[in-house]
Amino acid sequence: MPLILTEEQTMLKDAADGFLRENAPIAHFRKLRDTKDADGVSRDLWKAFGEMGFAGVIIPEEHGGSGLGAVEAGIVAEGLGRTLTPSPFFGSSILAARILIDAASADQQSAWLPKIAAGEAILSLALDEGPKHQPSRIATTAERSGNGFKLNGAKGFVLDGHIADALIVAARTDAGVTLFLVDPKTSGVEIERTVMVDAHNAARITLTDVHVDADAVIGDVNAGEAALEGALNLGRACAAACLTGAGDQAFLTTVEYLKTRKQFGKLIGEFQALQHRAAHLFTELELAKAAVLGALQRLDAGAPKADLAVSIAKAKAGRVAELAVQEAVQMHGGVGMTEGYDVGLYMKRVRVLNELLGDAGFHAEKLARASGY
Protein backbone atom coordinates (compact mmCIF):
# COMPACT_ATOMS: atom_id res chain seq x y z
CA MET A 1 0.00 0.00 0.00
CA PRO A 2 1.40 3.42 -0.91
CA LEU A 3 2.62 5.34 2.13
CA ILE A 4 0.37 8.32 1.50
CA LEU A 5 -3.22 9.12 2.43
CA THR A 6 -5.97 7.91 0.11
CA GLU A 7 -8.37 10.42 -1.39
CA GLU A 8 -11.00 9.64 1.27
CA GLN A 9 -8.41 9.96 4.03
CA THR A 10 -7.26 13.29 2.65
CA MET A 11 -10.86 14.49 2.70
CA LEU A 12 -11.21 13.37 6.31
CA LYS A 13 -8.01 15.19 7.19
CA ASP A 14 -9.23 18.40 5.58
CA ALA A 15 -12.54 18.05 7.41
CA ALA A 16 -10.95 17.33 10.80
CA ASP A 17 -8.30 20.04 10.53
CA GLY A 18 -10.86 22.55 9.27
CA PHE A 19 -13.31 21.68 12.02
CA LEU A 20 -10.67 22.02 14.74
CA ARG A 21 -9.28 25.27 13.35
CA GLU A 22 -12.75 26.75 13.33
CA ASN A 23 -14.28 25.31 16.51
CA ALA A 24 -11.36 24.50 18.76
CA PRO A 25 -8.32 26.66 18.01
CA ILE A 26 -5.78 27.42 20.69
CA ALA A 27 -8.04 30.22 21.99
CA HIS A 28 -10.56 27.51 22.90
CA PHE A 29 -7.93 25.69 24.92
CA ARG A 30 -6.76 28.89 26.61
CA LYS A 31 -10.31 29.75 27.61
CA LEU A 32 -10.96 26.36 29.23
CA ARG A 33 -7.70 26.69 31.10
CA ASP A 34 -8.00 30.30 32.16
CA THR A 35 -11.60 30.00 33.35
CA LYS A 36 -10.62 26.93 35.36
CA ASP A 37 -13.43 25.03 33.70
CA ALA A 38 -14.76 22.33 36.01
CA ASP A 39 -14.62 19.66 33.31
CA GLY A 40 -11.50 20.90 31.55
CA VAL A 41 -13.10 19.90 28.25
CA SER A 42 -16.05 21.30 26.35
CA ARG A 43 -19.07 18.98 26.38
CA ASP A 44 -20.51 20.86 23.40
CA LEU A 45 -17.36 20.25 21.43
CA TRP A 46 -17.38 16.56 22.39
CA LYS A 47 -20.98 16.36 21.14
CA ALA A 48 -19.96 18.07 17.91
CA PHE A 49 -17.14 15.49 17.64
CA GLY A 50 -19.89 12.91 17.76
CA GLU A 51 -21.90 14.61 15.03
CA MET A 52 -18.83 14.90 12.80
CA GLY A 53 -18.14 11.19 13.22
CA PHE A 54 -14.78 11.79 14.93
CA ALA A 55 -15.76 10.50 18.39
CA GLY A 56 -16.82 7.21 16.84
CA VAL A 57 -14.13 7.11 14.19
CA ILE A 58 -13.18 3.46 14.86
CA ILE A 59 -16.57 2.36 16.24
CA PRO A 60 -18.49 0.03 13.92
CA GLU A 61 -21.44 1.53 12.09
CA GLU A 62 -23.93 -0.78 13.83
CA HIS A 63 -22.99 1.00 17.06
CA GLY A 64 -23.38 4.43 15.53
CA GLY A 65 -19.74 5.00 14.64
CA SER A 66 -17.90 5.74 11.41
CA GLY A 67 -16.39 2.25 11.15
CA LEU A 68 -12.99 3.53 10.05
CA GLY A 69 -9.48 2.43 10.92
CA ALA A 70 -6.25 3.40 12.62
CA VAL A 71 -5.11 5.75 9.85
CA GLU A 72 -8.32 7.76 10.23
CA ALA A 73 -8.02 7.80 14.03
CA GLY A 74 -4.44 9.03 13.61
CA ILE A 75 -5.61 11.82 11.34
CA VAL A 76 -7.93 13.14 14.07
CA ALA A 77 -5.21 12.72 16.71
CA GLU A 78 -2.73 14.67 14.59
CA GLY A 79 -5.25 17.47 14.22
CA LEU A 80 -5.74 17.57 18.00
CA GLY A 81 -1.99 17.91 18.36
CA ARG A 82 -1.94 20.91 16.03
CA THR A 83 -4.65 22.80 17.92
CA LEU A 84 -3.83 21.49 21.44
CA THR A 85 -7.55 20.84 21.87
CA PRO A 86 -8.46 19.15 25.17
CA SER A 87 -10.83 16.33 24.32
CA PRO A 88 -11.92 12.93 25.64
CA PHE A 89 -10.89 11.57 22.23
CA PHE A 90 -7.85 9.61 23.49
CA GLY A 91 -9.40 8.04 26.54
CA SER A 92 -12.82 7.34 25.06
CA SER A 93 -12.62 7.11 21.27
CA ILE A 94 -9.28 5.35 21.09
CA LEU A 95 -8.42 3.42 24.25
CA ALA A 96 -11.85 2.57 25.69
CA ALA A 97 -13.51 2.09 22.31
CA ARG A 98 -10.78 -0.27 21.09
CA ILE A 99 -11.00 -2.39 24.26
CA LEU A 100 -14.77 -2.58 24.07
CA ILE A 101 -14.74 -3.46 20.36
CA ASP A 102 -12.04 -6.09 20.82
CA ALA A 103 -13.11 -7.77 24.03
CA ALA A 104 -16.42 -6.62 25.53
CA SER A 105 -19.71 -8.50 25.66
CA ALA A 106 -22.58 -7.52 23.39
CA ASP A 107 -24.34 -5.90 26.35
CA GLN A 108 -21.28 -3.87 27.31
CA GLN A 109 -20.78 -2.81 23.73
CA SER A 110 -24.34 -1.67 23.20
CA ALA A 111 -24.32 0.13 26.55
CA TRP A 112 -21.29 2.26 25.77
CA LEU A 113 -20.16 2.29 22.14
CA PRO A 114 -23.16 4.26 20.78
CA LYS A 115 -22.75 6.84 23.55
CA ILE A 116 -19.06 7.28 22.85
CA ALA A 117 -19.79 7.58 19.14
CA ALA A 118 -22.37 10.27 19.83
CA GLY A 119 -19.99 12.25 22.03
CA GLU A 120 -22.26 11.66 25.00
CA ALA A 121 -20.23 9.42 27.26
CA ILE A 122 -16.67 9.75 28.51
CA LEU A 123 -14.73 6.62 29.41
CA SER A 124 -11.27 6.39 30.93
CA LEU A 125 -8.68 3.66 31.04
CA ALA A 126 -7.11 3.27 34.48
CA LEU A 127 -3.90 1.45 33.71
CA ASP A 128 -0.71 3.18 34.88
CA GLU A 129 0.28 3.05 38.52
CA GLY A 130 3.75 4.49 38.96
CA PRO A 131 5.30 7.56 37.38
CA LYS A 132 6.36 5.60 34.27
CA HIS A 133 4.24 3.53 31.91
CA GLN A 134 4.89 -0.10 32.91
CA PRO A 135 1.84 -2.14 31.91
CA SER A 136 3.56 -5.40 32.77
CA ARG A 137 3.83 -4.42 36.44
CA ILE A 138 0.23 -3.91 37.47
CA ALA A 139 -0.11 -4.18 41.25
CA THR A 140 -3.80 -3.31 41.64
CA THR A 141 -5.60 -6.48 42.67
CA ALA A 142 -9.01 -7.95 42.05
CA GLU A 143 -9.92 -10.75 44.44
CA ARG A 144 -12.97 -12.92 43.98
CA SER A 145 -15.63 -11.86 46.44
CA GLY A 146 -19.24 -12.97 46.53
CA ASN A 147 -20.64 -13.05 43.02
CA GLY A 148 -17.96 -10.68 41.79
CA PHE A 149 -14.61 -9.09 42.63
CA LYS A 150 -13.11 -6.71 45.14
CA LEU A 151 -10.61 -4.20 43.72
CA ASN A 152 -7.77 -2.55 45.62
CA GLY A 153 -5.02 -0.33 44.33
CA ALA A 154 -4.04 3.09 43.06
CA LYS A 155 -4.00 4.38 39.49
CA GLY A 156 -2.54 7.52 38.01
CA PHE A 157 -2.40 9.47 34.73
CA VAL A 158 -5.99 8.37 34.03
CA LEU A 159 -7.01 10.61 31.12
CA ASP A 160 -10.25 12.49 31.89
CA GLY A 161 -10.70 10.29 34.96
CA HIS A 162 -12.36 13.15 36.88
CA ILE A 163 -15.31 13.29 34.45
CA ALA A 164 -15.52 9.66 33.40
CA ASP A 165 -18.93 8.02 33.12
CA ALA A 166 -17.20 4.67 33.36
CA LEU A 167 -13.70 3.49 34.16
CA ILE A 168 -11.91 0.56 32.62
CA VAL A 169 -9.62 -0.70 35.38
CA ALA A 170 -6.77 -3.12 34.80
CA ALA A 171 -6.17 -5.31 37.86
CA ARG A 172 -4.22 -8.41 38.66
CA THR A 173 -6.29 -11.58 39.16
CA ASP A 174 -5.14 -15.05 40.16
CA ALA A 175 -3.44 -15.88 36.85
CA GLY A 176 -3.03 -12.67 34.94
CA VAL A 177 -4.56 -9.27 34.36
CA THR A 178 -8.28 -8.65 34.04
CA LEU A 179 -10.13 -5.58 32.78
CA PHE A 180 -13.17 -4.33 34.71
CA LEU A 181 -15.81 -1.84 33.78
CA VAL A 182 -16.27 0.22 36.95
CA ASP A 183 -18.83 2.89 37.74
CA PRO A 184 -16.84 5.78 39.26
CA LYS A 185 -19.62 6.36 41.77
CA THR A 186 -19.12 2.94 43.35
CA SER A 187 -18.24 3.12 46.99
CA GLY A 188 -14.49 2.91 47.60
CA VAL A 189 -13.55 4.80 44.42
CA GLU A 190 -11.77 8.05 45.13
CA ILE A 191 -10.89 10.37 42.28
CA GLU A 192 -8.52 13.30 42.43
CA ARG A 193 -8.36 15.52 39.35
CA THR A 194 -4.74 16.20 38.42
CA VAL A 195 -4.33 19.15 36.09
CA MET A 196 -1.12 18.48 34.22
CA VAL A 197 1.65 20.79 33.06
CA ASP A 198 -0.09 21.16 29.69
CA ALA A 199 -3.42 22.08 31.41
CA HIS A 200 -4.97 18.92 30.01
CA ASN A 201 -6.71 16.60 32.42
CA ALA A 202 -5.95 13.40 34.18
CA ALA A 203 -6.79 11.87 37.54
CA ARG A 204 -5.38 9.77 40.33
CA ILE A 205 -7.80 7.08 41.33
CA THR A 206 -7.71 5.09 44.56
CA LEU A 207 -9.66 1.86 44.79
CA THR A 208 -10.39 0.61 48.31
CA ASP A 209 -12.40 -2.61 48.54
CA VAL A 210 -14.39 -1.62 45.47
CA HIS A 211 -16.94 -4.32 44.80
CA VAL A 212 -17.94 -5.08 41.22
CA ASP A 213 -20.22 -7.82 39.88
CA ALA A 214 -18.93 -10.60 37.69
CA ASP A 215 -20.53 -8.99 34.65
CA ALA A 216 -18.15 -6.04 35.06
CA VAL A 217 -15.38 -8.16 33.60
CA ILE A 218 -14.47 -7.20 30.05
CA GLY A 219 -13.70 -10.32 28.05
CA ASP A 220 -12.35 -13.19 30.09
CA VAL A 221 -10.81 -13.25 33.53
CA ASN A 222 -7.00 -13.27 33.26
CA ALA A 223 -7.17 -12.32 29.58
CA GLY A 224 -6.75 -8.60 30.12
CA GLU A 225 -3.32 -8.28 28.56
CA ALA A 226 -4.56 -9.59 25.25
CA ALA A 227 -7.63 -7.36 25.49
CA LEU A 228 -5.37 -4.36 26.12
CA GLU A 229 -2.97 -5.05 23.31
CA GLY A 230 -5.03 -3.59 20.48
CA ALA A 231 -5.84 -0.50 22.51
CA LEU A 232 -2.23 0.07 23.52
CA ASN A 233 -1.06 -0.28 19.94
CA LEU A 234 -3.69 2.08 18.60
CA GLY A 235 -3.25 4.51 21.51
CA ARG A 236 0.51 4.63 21.07
CA ALA A 237 0.26 5.12 17.33
CA CYS A 238 -2.30 7.91 17.81
CA ALA A 239 -0.16 9.51 20.52
CA ALA A 240 2.66 9.44 17.97
CA ALA A 241 0.37 11.10 15.42
CA CYS A 242 -0.58 13.72 17.99
CA LEU A 243 3.11 14.33 18.77
CA THR A 244 3.82 14.76 15.07
CA GLY A 245 0.96 17.24 14.78
CA ALA A 246 2.13 19.23 17.78
CA GLY A 247 5.78 19.14 16.71
CA ASP A 248 4.96 20.10 13.13
CA GLN A 249 2.74 22.99 14.20
CA ALA A 250 5.43 24.34 16.53
CA PHE A 251 7.86 24.04 13.62
CA LEU A 252 5.57 25.87 11.17
CA THR A 253 5.05 28.65 13.71
CA THR A 254 8.81 28.92 14.06
CA VAL A 255 9.40 29.04 10.31
CA GLU A 256 6.97 31.97 10.12
CA TYR A 257 8.89 33.68 12.90
CA LEU A 258 12.20 33.19 11.08
CA LYS A 259 10.63 34.96 8.11
CA THR A 260 9.39 37.99 10.03
CA ARG A 261 11.71 38.68 12.96
CA LYS A 262 14.60 41.02 12.17
CA GLN A 263 17.88 41.45 14.02
CA PHE A 264 21.16 42.98 12.86
CA GLY A 265 19.10 44.51 10.04
CA LYS A 266 18.19 41.11 8.56
CA LEU A 267 15.49 38.51 8.84
CA ILE A 268 16.83 35.98 11.32
CA GLY A 269 15.97 33.27 8.77
CA GLU A 270 18.84 34.62 6.67
CA PHE A 271 21.35 33.38 9.23
CA GLN A 272 22.82 30.04 8.25
CA ALA A 273 23.07 28.88 11.85
CA LEU A 274 19.28 28.96 12.09
CA GLN A 275 18.67 27.78 8.51
CA HIS A 276 20.57 24.57 9.09
CA ARG A 277 18.76 23.81 12.31
CA ALA A 278 15.40 24.47 10.66
CA ALA A 279 16.35 22.25 7.71
CA HIS A 280 17.46 19.46 10.06
CA LEU A 281 14.20 19.70 11.95
CA PHE A 282 12.18 19.60 8.72
CA THR A 283 14.00 16.39 7.80
CA GLU A 284 13.37 14.81 11.17
CA LEU A 285 9.68 15.70 10.99
CA GLU A 286 9.40 14.05 7.57
CA LEU A 287 10.85 10.87 9.07
CA ALA A 288 8.46 11.02 12.00
CA LYS A 289 5.47 11.43 9.69
CA ALA A 290 6.55 8.45 7.61
CA ALA A 291 7.06 6.32 10.72
CA VAL A 292 3.63 7.26 12.07
CA LEU A 293 1.74 6.61 8.85
CA GLY A 294 3.65 3.36 8.40
CA ALA A 295 2.59 2.20 11.87
CA LEU A 296 -1.05 3.20 11.40
CA GLN A 297 -1.24 1.42 8.05
CA ARG A 298 0.30 -1.71 9.50
CA LEU A 299 -2.27 -1.73 12.29
CA ASP A 300 -5.06 -1.50 9.74
CA ALA A 301 -3.51 -4.27 7.67
CA GLY A 302 -3.06 -6.50 10.73
CA ALA A 303 0.56 -6.84 9.65
CA PRO A 304 2.93 -9.07 11.62
CA LYS A 305 5.09 -7.06 14.04
CA ALA A 306 2.75 -4.08 13.74
CA ASP A 307 3.42 -3.47 17.44
CA LEU A 308 7.09 -2.88 16.65
CA ALA A 309 6.20 -0.43 13.89
CA VAL A 310 4.13 1.34 16.55
CA SER A 311 7.07 1.42 18.97
CA ILE A 312 9.29 2.86 16.25
CA ALA A 313 6.68 5.53 15.51
CA LYS A 314 6.11 6.47 19.15
CA ALA A 315 9.82 6.65 19.91
CA LYS A 316 10.68 8.57 16.75
CA ALA A 317 7.76 10.99 16.93
CA GLY A 318 8.49 11.59 20.60
CA ARG A 319 12.13 12.45 20.06
CA VAL A 320 11.40 14.59 17.03
CA ALA A 321 8.58 16.52 18.66
CA GLU A 322 10.82 17.10 21.67
CA LEU A 323 13.45 18.59 19.38
CA ALA A 324 10.82 20.64 17.53
CA VAL A 325 9.43 22.34 20.63
CA GLN A 326 12.85 23.03 22.09
CA GLU A 327 14.04 24.58 18.84
CA ALA A 328 10.78 26.52 18.62
CA VAL A 329 11.33 28.16 21.99
CA GLN A 330 15.03 28.78 21.39
CA MET A 331 14.54 30.29 17.94
CA HIS A 332 11.78 32.55 19.24
CA GLY A 333 14.17 33.84 21.87
CA GLY A 334 12.71 35.69 24.84
CA VAL A 335 9.16 35.76 23.52
CA GLY A 336 9.27 31.98 23.23
CA MET A 337 9.39 31.87 27.01
CA THR A 338 6.26 34.01 27.38
CA GLU A 339 2.79 32.80 28.18
CA GLY A 340 1.39 34.94 25.37
CA TYR A 341 3.17 33.01 22.61
CA ASP A 342 1.92 29.58 21.68
CA VAL A 343 5.21 27.75 21.28
CA GLY A 344 5.60 27.21 25.01
CA LEU A 345 2.19 25.52 25.08
CA TYR A 346 3.42 23.02 22.52
CA MET A 347 6.46 22.28 24.64
CA LYS A 348 4.21 21.41 27.58
CA ARG A 349 1.85 19.29 25.52
CA VAL A 350 4.70 17.33 23.93
CA ARG A 351 6.14 16.54 27.36
CA VAL A 352 2.84 14.98 28.39
CA LEU A 353 2.34 13.08 25.13
CA ASN A 354 5.84 11.70 25.46
CA GLU A 355 4.98 10.10 28.80
CA LEU A 356 1.61 8.84 27.56
CA LEU A 357 1.70 5.07 26.88
CA GLY A 358 5.47 4.81 27.04
CA ASP A 359 8.22 7.27 26.22
CA ALA A 360 10.97 6.88 23.63
CA GLY A 361 13.08 4.89 26.08
CA PHE A 362 10.26 2.45 26.81
CA HIS A 363 9.69 1.83 23.12
CA ALA A 364 13.39 1.58 22.27
CA GLU A 365 13.70 -1.05 25.00
CA LYS A 366 10.70 -2.92 23.61
CA LEU A 367 12.18 -2.88 20.12
CA ALA A 368 15.59 -4.03 21.33
CA ARG A 369 14.11 -6.95 23.28
CA ALA A 370 11.96 -8.00 20.35
CA SER A 371 14.99 -7.83 18.06
CA GLY A 372 16.97 -10.17 20.26
CA TYR A 373 19.34 -7.76 21.99
- 315 lies in the site for another protein, by CB under 8 A: yes
One residue of 115, 316, 349, 351 binding another protein per CB under 8 A: 316
Sequence-distant (6+) residues with CB within 8 A of 212 are 142, 148, 149, 151, 180, 181, 182, 186
In the bound state with another protein, the residue whose beta carbon lies nearer, of 242 and 291, is: 291
Q: Does 334 sit near another protein (CB under 8 A)?
A: no
Q: How far is the CB of 278 from another protein (least distance, A)?
A: 6
Q: Binding to another protein by residue 86, rule CB under 8 A? A: no
Contact by Cβ (8 Å): 362, 137: no
Nearest to 200, CA basis, from 345, 314, 73: 345
Residues 272-311 within binding reach of another protein (CB under 8 A): 272, 275-276, 278-280, 282-283, 286-291, 293-294, 309
Does position 369 interact with another protein (CB under 8 A)? The reply is yes
* Cα(99)–Cα(107) distance, integer angstroms: 14
Residue 312 interacts with another protein (CB under 8 A)? yes
Q: Is 371 in the site for another protein (CB under 8 A)?
A: yes
Number of residues that bind another protein (CB under 8 A): 40
What is the C-alpha radius of gyration for the chain, rounded to an integer number of angstroms?
21
Binding mask 235-264 for another protein (x = CB under 8 A): --------------------x--xx-----
For the CB of residue 372, give the shortest distance to another protein in the complex, in Å.
Answer: 7
Q: How many CA atoms lie within 13 A of 247 on its CB side?
A: 34
Of residues 1 and 197, the one with the C-beta less far from another protein: 1
DSSP assigned state of 277? H
For another protein, which stretch binds (CB under 8 A), given 16-24, 106-114, 313-321, 330-338? 313-321
Looking only at residues 96 through 125 of this chain, which bind another protein when binding is defined by CB under 8 A?
Answer: none
CA angle 94, 101, 369 (to 5 degrees): 65
Identify the CA nearest to 367 among candidates 306, 290, 296, 312.
Answer: 312
Q: How far apart are CA 293 and CA 295, in angstroms?
A: 5
- CB of 309 vs another protein, minimal distance in Å: 8
Min CB(16)–another protein separation in Å: 19
What is the rounded distance in angstroms from the CA atom of residue 31 to the CA atom of residue 43? 14
Nearest approach in angstroms of CB 275 to another protein is: 4
Distance CA 222, CA 214 (A): 13
Closest CA to 22 of 91, 73, 85, 88: 85
Q: How far is the CB of 300 from another protein (least distance, A)?
A: 15
CB of 373 to another protein, least distance (A): 4
Q: How far is CA 253 from CA 66, 160, 208, 285, 331, in A?
A: 33, 29, 47, 14, 11
Q: Which is nearer to another protein, 187 or 272 (CB)?
A: 272
- Distance from C-alpha of 77 to C-alpha of 49, rounded to nearest angstrom: 12
Report how far residue 244's alpha carbon sits from residue 354's, in angstroms, rounded to the nearest whole number.
11
Q: Candidates 47-55, 127-135, 164-172, 269-277 — which segment interacts with another protein by CB under 8 A?
A: 269-277
Q: Does 270 bind another protein (CB under 8 A)?
A: yes
The residues binding another protein (CB under 8 A) are 2-4, 255, 258-259, 267, 269-270, 272, 275-276, 278-280, 282-283, 286-291, 293-294, 309, 312-313, 315-316, 360, 363-365, 367-369, 371-373
